[in-house]
Amino acid sequence: MIIIPKGKPVVENLNSFYLVINKMIEHFQGELGSGCVHFSSASDEALIFFDKDDLLNGVLKSSKGETIGDPAITQIIKLSDIQNFRIDIYKIESDKIYFWANIPYAKKIHSNLSTQFTDLKKLIKNMISEKLTGFIDISINNGKEGGFIFFSNGELVGEFYSGTNRDPNNQKKDLELLIEETTSKGGVFNVSGIPLKPEKNKFKAVEPAADSSEPFAVLEELLTIFETIIFSQKKLRIDFNSTLKKKFLEKVSKYEFLDPFSTDFRYVNKKISYSGKSNIKEVINGVVECIREIANDLNLLTILFSQLKPWYQKFDHEIKRFNIHI
């Protein structure tokens, strides 16, 4: 299900023809922290949700049906290379992004409730008492108007009314208008629950941080993940170590310690050894910069992002300590 956040986009009317989608999202991860990208064309519509560290979810609606999750993200990025999408960027506050990112997984729990048998005010009260995390989808006047009311653990967290004849001078809130319009014109309500998937829930307990006596553990695991991804891409037919050394060589003028012909920095058998004079933070961020550029050059950024959730959880302390940005 595609539901666009209420409000004006922070950036609108971009055209995918001129954009590298991975880079664009990475930019807005740093600029906004959390939000979503809305893609629309004559035939397809899609959303990608993100926070500052990750791509949280995607949903693609096309003539072939609806796709959710990482497969949707991959398809959206591929489609944006071959067809023109209008792109709008919305900011979503960090305390609400997990709610929005999981809306595509919503399941109906009450269908086709009519105002003949229940009124919207009473239904809202019932959903509050049931501590609903989800929304009421409202159809008014045989579908000519409508709206949504959103709940998180029984608390009202938002609503909007999509009436085409809404008076711009009317100062009433959307919730009041929805109640009034369903009372006067009749309406049908569908209630859906949103299962907050554990891996998207910011309150999930994380594994203990890696032992600080192993400062390169965060980088070793990142390199191992990336090496595994490249090895799995049979069509690329490239050697990971050779590709890494070539990128290191490109960066020697900026990061002298990456010179593959010296012994300052070595990555062998998934272990790092370092004997140079640069501080650990500079070394880690220099290597991360190389990983990011290689992934972008090989169109593997989305796959890399999708594999990093356990890494972010395990090394949360180190990622913040060394200010690591993929």
Please check whether residue 52 lies inside any domain of the structure.
yes
Measured distance CA(189)–CA(197) in Å, rounded: 25
**Bridge partners, 191 (sequence order):** 110, 136
Q: Is 145 helix (H, G, I), strand (E, B) or coil?
A: strand
Q: Are residues 91 and 118 in the same domain?
A: no
Q: Are residues 183 and 225 in the same domain?
A: no
pLDDT of residue 319: 87
pLDDT of residue 11: 93
pLDDT of residue 136: 93
pLDDT of residue 153: 86
Measured distance CA(286)–CA(253) in Å, rounded: 12
- Give tens-digit pLDDT for 170-211: 545 888 888 988 888 889 999 999 876 544 433 332 333 333
Q: Are residues 110 and 84 in the same domain?
A: no
Q: How far, in whole angstroms, is CA 112 from its chain's centroid? A: 31
Q: Are residues 122 and 60 in the same domain?
A: no
DSSP state, residue 2? -
pLDDT of residue 199: 42
DSSP letters for 149-166? EEEETTEEEEEEE--TT-
Please check whether residue 64 lies inside any domain of the structure.
yes
Q: Are residues 57 and 111 in the same domain?
A: no
Please check whether residue 3 lies inside any domain of the structure.
no
Q: Are residues 227 and 172 in the same domain?
A: no
Residues in the chain, pLDDT under 50: 164-166, 168, 171, 198-213
pLDDT of residue 214: 63
Average pLDDT in the chain? 85
Q: Are residues 227 and 286 in the same domain?
A: yes
First to last CA, the chain: 29
Q: Are 85 and 16 in contact (CB under 8 A)?
A: yes
- Give tens-digit pLDDT for 62-74: 888 999 998 999 9
Q: Are residues 91 and 139 in the same domain?
A: no
Please check whether residue 44 lies inside any domain of the structure.
yes
Global pTM reads 0.56
- Residue by residue, what is the 3-state secondary structure of 217-254? HHHHHHHHHHHHHHHHCCCCCCCHHHHHHHHHHHCCCC
Residue type, 30: G
Residue-wise burial string across 196-235, b where 16 or more C-beta atoms lie within 10 A, e elsewhere? beeebeeeeeeeebbeeeebbbbbebbbeebbebbeeeee
For the chain, what is the domain count?
A: 3
Boundary (domain end) residue, out of 35, 70, 97? 97
What is the span of the domain harbouring residue 250? 217-321
Measured distance CA(235)–CA(298) in Å, rounded: 11
CA 183 to each of CA 114, 137, 140, 144: distance values in angstroms, whole numbers, following the listed order: 11, 16, 9, 15
